[in-house]
């Protein structure tokens, strides 16, 4: 496998991306954006950058302008969305199949541009933040039924940003969506010690689900 670094222009700003590719042609590319508090070196993203090339796919990791500038507060929604549009334009041209998404906020913004008609083949969302913790009335699901492409939700049963029932209900309103629950995992994919599992076990399960799901929608 090999890494290639990119600098992508978003208005008057620039964001970084790293594409990790298998030997030979990739069957598809998955573009992954991290959650609000993480960056291009997000641990789950780095784990995927090893798993996907071994399965014949490319993994692209990106970060948003605020993180590029070393700031803590996320950019406003228009700039976050503009970043995703620029990233999709960059990798669409040489990808046999383009899957986008990410973890928490990164995936949420990807879903918003997908609902707006971005040219992507599928959407994979990990730890989707359906609402802030303790604020179920503030739901971020209004755009989801407008997503036409196959969509995967993969979240933990202890995730305070969305319950299993919440996500099951959302999936039922979408044209082509699936949900996989990660038993015992919280929003950051951590598990309790008494579960007998480690965070790395959750990463493996989530990656296995992603690979199987993409294979399933490709057949």
Helix (H, G, I), strand (E, B) or coil at 166: helix
Q: What is the pLDDT of residues 97-143, one digit of tens each?
A: 999 999 999 999 999 999 999 999 999 999 999 998 888 777 889 99
Q: List all residues 6 or more positions away from 109 whose beta carbon is below 8 Å from its beta carbon.
A: 33, 77, 80, 81, 83, 84
Instruction: Report the pLDDT value the prediction gives residue 100, as an integer from 0 to 100.
Output: 98
Helix (H, G, I), strand (E, B) or coil at 32: strand
**What is the value of pTM for the model shown?**
0.96
Instruction: Report the pLDDT value the prediction gives residue 64, as an integer from 0 to 100.
Output: 98
Instruction: Report the pLDDT value the prediction gives residue 140, as an integer from 0 to 100.
Output: 87
Name the CATH architecture for the domain at 2-218. Answer: 3-Layer(aba) Sandwich (3.40)
């Amino acid at each position: 496998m090999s890494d290639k670094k990119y600098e992508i222009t978003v208005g008057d700003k620039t964001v970084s991306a790293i594409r990790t590719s298998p030997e030979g042609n990739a069957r598809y590319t998955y573009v992954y954006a991290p959650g609000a508090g993480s960056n291009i070196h997000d641990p789950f993203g780095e784990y995927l950058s090893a798993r996907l090339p071994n399965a014949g796919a490319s993994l692209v990791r990106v970060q948003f302008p605020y993180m590029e500038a070393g700031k803590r507060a996320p950019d406003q929604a228009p700039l976050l969305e503009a970043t995703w549009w620029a990233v999709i334009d960059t990798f669409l041209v040489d990808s046999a199949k383009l899957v986008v998404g990410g973890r928490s906020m990164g995936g949420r913004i990807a879903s918003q541009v997908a609902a707006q008609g971005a040219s992507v083949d599928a959407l994979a969302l990990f730890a989707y933040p359906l609402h802030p913790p303790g604020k179920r009335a503030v739901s971020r699901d209004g755009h989801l039924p407008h997503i036409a492409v196959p969509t995967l939700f993969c979240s933990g049963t202890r995730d305070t940003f969305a319950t299993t029932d919440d996500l099951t209900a959302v999936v039922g309103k979408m044209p082509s969506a699936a949900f996989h629950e990660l038993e015992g995992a919280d929003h950051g994919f951590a598990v309790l010690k008494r579960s007998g599992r480690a965070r790395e076990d959750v990463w493996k399960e989530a990656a296995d689900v992603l690979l199987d799901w993409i294979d399933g929608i490709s057949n």
